[in-house]
Amino acid sequence: MTLLRRVGLCAAAALLSAGAACGAPAQKTSFSLQFGASWYPEQWPEQRWDRDLDLMQAAHVNVVRIGEFAWSSLEPTEGHYDFSWLDRAISRAAAHHIKVVIGTPTAAPPAWLTQKYPDVLRRNEDGSTEEHGNRLQYSFASPRYRALARDIAGRLAVRYGHNPNVIGWQIDNEISPVSFDAAAQAQFHAWLQARHKTIAALNAQWTTTYWSQTYTSFDQVPMHLTNENPGLLLDLKRFVSDTWTSYVRNQADVIRPKIGKSQFVTTNSMHWNARYDHFEMHRLLDIAAWDNYIPEGRYDWAENALLHNAVRGYKQKNFWVIESQAGYVNYGKINRTLDPGVMREMAWQAVGRGADALLYWQWRSALNGQEQYYGTLAGPDGEPVPAYTEAKRIGSEFAKASATLANTSPRTEVALIQSYESRWALEFQPHHKGFVPTDEFSAFYRPLLHTVHNIDIVSPDGDLDRYKLVIAPALNLLTKAQADHLAAYVRRGGHLILGPRSGMKDENNALWTSRQPGPLAGLLGGHVEQFYALDAPVTVEGLKHNGTADIWAEHLVADAPDVHTLLRYGAGSGWLAGQPAALTRSSGNGTITYLGAWLGNAAMREFLATAVSGAAIRPVLQVPDDVEVSTRQGANKLVLILINHGDDERTIALPRRMQDVLRGGTTGRTLNLAPHDAAVLFTTGKIAP
């Protein structure tokens, strides 16, 4: 297969029935919330397309995603391409006022490819090799596969890069699996050499004298995801992350020079996926996008809000929900359908948290294949199913609210720090079966959500100056540079809270020789004397209502006279009895606090509410716990999105009269919100809490 040539591209573009003139800029349109679905025209007769598109248009769909599994339709045999059906599909969608996001088809290579080039197939850790018939069966490290992927992505970009009906590109689909093939192993060893320079340095940083693990060459280092030296495990995770990032860059680099500036490039991430560092991955992408599914069909709105905040945090800007659940999925133990109205609650939650787009997966049930039973908006007969009615209402409301939401985004004074390296380190060595890093993160997020409503999620190296309060739930791996960054934030006036297990490891996943929190112990003026995994709760005193700690508790010691003890463990707590559970100290214009206990929800809520008040943060509204509040702000305007997730009507006091965008008219000083209902309210200027 020959690589893409730039010669003659304008001549080729001129032949496209659905393409714009070569070099013609894409037309700019005013902002609208994007609403749509994944559409697979290649699976259906063309005479059916207009009926599908008519139904989409009636539901206010204005965007579809096409092509991410269509490689065998785009290149039926090696070097022979058929883009004509895609030309017609884009053109027909445009006739219905529907734009297109093109997915590069590399998640599902065709059979001719894997048969002719079996070296591209993924090798599992147990030595087995993936075969054709599923998806993501390729090795993420295969040079040959990358060349083939780059070729098809580049050809698509040439053909549609200046088509005014194409607005963006999704690279691959839900990337995740690791390959242990020979190419991956060789690249891992080269990666180790580039990082550590010498094998002696690697041995020193990993303490390989333990169990005679000492290596004399880089190619002796095994490639395993479990039961290895913690330094090796962390470096392997870093290598996997870097390899996936370079895999996506391989396609982004060939797409970008060939497309208009108005077209974006992204990939779609998944629920809590930690196969790669999303902060690093998204440095090379224009927007973040993710797939939002509730496998068991029981919507936990607070947890889902956390996931939206996490995705927005990848780039600190608005994002896309590029796949959302249309009723049910097919991979859970019980694939329960979402309750009536939940699709709408999820849609407005996504917008409130910063989504500018929501697309359902998928439009119509495939007649065969592994995902026959997945929820859709249209059945196998092509006619609407119950989820379509709900989607149609959402689409109508999105169209009504678009002008109000233009040029707005969530803003907050509070951030949580998420560190993928810390998460990996804790997953290697949890020390307690219940110490799940994502659960511990959620244990901080949930009670904080009820107090401040909007929360940003940032990396340890991110810009912190916009926040009054920054919380690191479990910053287990803390480098000296990160510690200096956090200390500077505190001295400039920020309020920093470190959670349990923070500052335990250095960048090599080795224990700091100083006690926790390692390089921040001096700033704190205290340290962790000992940590304890708990098999029963212990009491914690110092709150208005004494609480408990479960799973994890640390005995803290103050080392400086100006350190204040905020919480202590109660009597009957064994080694912990009477010892400090939380310390705080002023430094410069700010404060640093260390919380050594995984507090129960009630105790955590009170502890964090006190911290929020101490940082002079005031929420816009006071609402019941089952009402979600999100704010999006723009130049001289504020949009409130309120969702009643409960089963009872709620009356909410408003700070002023506001425009009711969905219902029309103006509110009073209170708003009655029916069970599982949503409201979008708008006002100009700022609202003082």
Q: Just list the catalytic residues.
A: 174, 323
**CA angle 618–619–624, rounded 5-degree value:** 135
Q: Report helix, strand or coil for 564.
A: strand
- Going by C-alpha positions, the residue among 582, 586, 631, 591 that lies closest to residue 615 is 591
Q: Report helix, strand or coil for 322.
A: strand
Backbone angles phi, psi at 35, to 5 degrees: -140, 130
Backbone angles phi, psi at 429, to 5 degrees: -135, 70
CA–CA separation, 67 and 105 (whole Å): 6
Q: Name the DSSP class of 409.
A: B
Q: In what order do the strands lie in the sheet with 63-66?
A: 264-266, 166-170, 99-103, 63-66, 34-38, 355-361, 319-325, 289-292, 268-269
- The 10 Å Cβ neighbour count of residue 674 is 12
Backbone angles phi, psi at 303, to 5 degrees: -65, -40
CA–CA separation, 445 and 455 (whole Å): 8
Q: Cβ distance 187 to 154 under 8 Å?
A: no
CA–CA separation, 595 and 469 (whole Å): 15
Q: Cβ distance 512 to 523 under 8 Å?
A: no
Task: Pull the structure tokens for residue 476.
Answer: 């287990």
Q: Report helix, strand or coil for 381.
A: coil
Residues 6 or more apart whose CB falls under 8 angstroms from that of 304 comprise 292, 294, 346, 349
Side chain identity, residue 597: A
CA–CA separation, 202 and 212 (whole Å): 14
Residues 6 or more apart whose CB falls under 8 angstroms from that of 631 comprise 352, 410, 411, 453, 454, 620, 638, 639, 640, 641
**CA angle 525–431–534, rounded 5-degree value:** 75
- Going by C-alpha positions, the residue among 290, 389, 301 that lies closest to residue 345 is 301
